[in-house]
Chains A and B, each alone.
Chain A
Amino acid sequence: MSDDNKPGVVSTNDVKVEGEDEARYLYCVADSSAKANLGRIGLDGQEVFTIPFGDLCAVVHVCPSAPYKSDDNEVVKRWVMTHEKVVEAAWERFDTILPVGFDTIIKGEEDITPEENIRKWLEQDYAGLKEKMNKTRGKAEYGIQVFWDPEFIAGEIAKTNQEIRDINQDINSKPKGIAYMFKHKLGNILKKEMEKRADLCFKDFYARIKECTDEIKVEKTKKADEEKQMLMNLSCLIDRKKSGELGEELEKINKEEGFTVRFTGPWPPYSFVALG
């Protein structure tokens, strides 16, 4: 290593890997005409800069024409978090951005540089990109997950449902075989009632949350902790200044017995820039 090879400074002595600058890793598109350098904040300390086209710019770093991949979870995690940090830095700086998913890389072609390809893409999709910018300007994405405690809810239903109460009362006076059948029937009724209740809760919460948001996307529910069950999983687009209102409504749901709400964000509007 030569004396002038300081950390963070690209030395001219660095071995030039063939094709290492033949592509650009894309973080987001920003609503700005700025030609800017955001510093060495990219994946593995890469220098992040903008490629302007008109009043838009792409936020990128220089990379080889190959996807980032690793079997090491820690490495992937670090990359993904860095990706997010860069998107957020651009968000902070340029106000309105359209985040791009992890590992989106644009390459050059024989007689076209990757930067020309990016400008070409920005030009071709200009109208669509602008439309999405206008839709998300001043807004942020929030995640909302509502959980219920199925045992608690089942208990509530068992207490109030007349049919279940009747069977429960009968069950003790029946012989073993009959009692078993009754229990089976009880399970079926309870299952149906649970689904009915889930349906009602979903519609109720959805309507209340919708009142406080500009746009909602219903995501797949996921497996939750042992004693909880995810009832709804939403991505919401909302004016950043209005998140307090939403928070208040969610607090009300969170206070209902047997229910828990998880409220995350603000995130860049990942769920509101994709097609369809």
Chain B
Amino acid sequence: MEPVRNTNATLVDLLDRILDKGLVIYADVIVSMAGIPLIGINLRAAVAGMETMLKYGVMVDWDEKARAWEKDNRREKKSEVSSIGSRKVVLNRRSQVAREKNRSEMRIDCPES
């Protein structure tokens, strides 16, 4: 099968990447503002009516287990540390804290359908 790029489903895939991923810069010259992590959340909900929660509660544990298994599997690779890691972390909308916030607010934002 050939990879696809231009469908509604791929748009969600792309949004996840552009909004949550990419190169992270830890420096005090990054512009930030409270509440900025919220950008795109409504958009994602609007595009696909989806959120990070799983439809079947039964699968939640399993999903976590599966990911834990995969993590263990590549633990040996974990020693790879970037030079950026030791740098000063300042207000940065793409910081881990912001991401977690993003996720938890996302859950609240999108009621179960």
A residues bordering B, Cβ < 8 Å?
Answer: 23, 26, 28-29, 65-70, 73, 76-77, 80, 83-84, 98-109, 114, 117, 121, 124-125, 127-128, 131-132, 141-143, 145, 150, 191, 194-195, 198-199, 202-203, 206, 216, 218-224, 229-230, 232, 235, 243, 247-248, 250-251, 254, 261-267, 270-271, 273-275
Q: How far is the CB of B37 from chain A (nearest CB, A)?
A: 10
- Beta-carbon contact of B83 and A128 below 8 Å: yes
Tell me, in angstroms, the Cα distance from A202 to B65 when the chains sit together: 11
- Beta-carbon contact of A67 and B62 below 8 Å: no
Residue ID in chain A nearest B78 by CB atoms:
A276
A-B contact pairs, 18 of them (CB 8 A): A26-B25, A66-B31, A69-B39, A80-B19, A83-B18, A84-B14, A99-B18, A100-B23, A106-B27, A107-B31, A127-B83, A150-B56, A191-B58, A198-B66, A223-B53, A251-B1, A267-B13, A275-B85
- Beta-carbon contact of A199 and B22 below 8 Å: no
- Beta-carbon contact of A99 and B82 below 8 Å: no
Q: Return chain A residues, CB-CB under 8 Å to B19.
A: 80, 101-102
Q: Is the interface of A mostly helix, strand, loop or mixed?
A: mixed
Tell me, in angstroms, the Cα distance from A105 to B92 when the chains sit together: 10
The yes or no answer to B75 lying at the interface (CB within 8 A) is no
Q: Given contacts A76-B43, A103-B36, are A264 and B10 in contact (CB under 8 A)?
A: yes
- Beta-carbon contact of B30 and A104 below 8 Å: yes
- Beta-carbon contact of B84 and A247 below 8 Å: no
The yes or no answer to B97 lying at the interface (CB within 8 A) is no
- Beta-carbon contact of A142 and B3 below 8 Å: yes
Q: Given contacts A76-B43, A128-B83, A223-B51, are A229 and B31 in contact (CB under 8 A)?
A: no
Tell me, in angstroms, the Cα distance from A261 to B5 when the chains sit together: 14
Q: How far is the CB of A245 from chain B (nearest CB, A)?
A: 12
Q: Return chain B residues, CB-CB under 8 Å to A145.
A: 13
Q: Return chain B residues, CB-CB under 8 Å to A271.
A: 17, 21
- Beta-carbon contact of A223 and B55 below 8 Å: yes
With A103-B36, A104-B22, A104-B94 known, 18 other A-B pairs at CB within 8 A are: A28-B23, A67-B32, A68-B39, A73-B42, A80-B18, A80-B19, A101-B24, A109-B29, A121-B27, A128-B82, A198-B59, A222-B54, A235-B17, A247-B3, A262-B9, A264-B5, A270-B18, A274-B22
The yes or no answer to B76 lying at the interface (CB within 8 A) is no
Among A222, A235, A273, max chain B CB count under 10 A is at: A222
Interface size on B, residues (CB 8 A): 59
- Beta-carbon contact of B31 and A247 below 8 Å: no
- Beta-carbon contact of A199 and B23 below 8 Å: no
Tell me, in angstroms, the Cα distance from A232 to B54 when the chains sit together: 12
Partner of A243 from the list B3, B23, B58 (CB cut-off 8 Å) is B3
The yes or no answer to B4 lying at the interface (CB within 8 A) is yes
Q: Return chain B residues, CB-CB under 8 Å to A100.
A: 22-23, 25
Q: Return chain A residues, CB-CB under 8 Å to B50.
A: 222-224
Residue ID in chain B nearest A112 by CB atoms:
B29
Among B58, B71, B85, max chain A CB count under 10 A is at: B58
- Beta-carbon contact of A101 and B94 below 8 Å: yes
Q: Given contacts A107-B31, A218-B66, are A267 and B14 in contact (CB under 8 A)?
A: yes
Q: How far is the CB of B22 from chain A (nearest CB, A)?
A: 4
Among A98, A141, A143, A194, max chain B CB count under 10 A is at: A143
Per-residue interface assignment for chain B, residues 80 to 113, with 1 indicating a CB less than 8 Å from any chain A CB and 0 otherwise: 0011110100000110000000000000000000
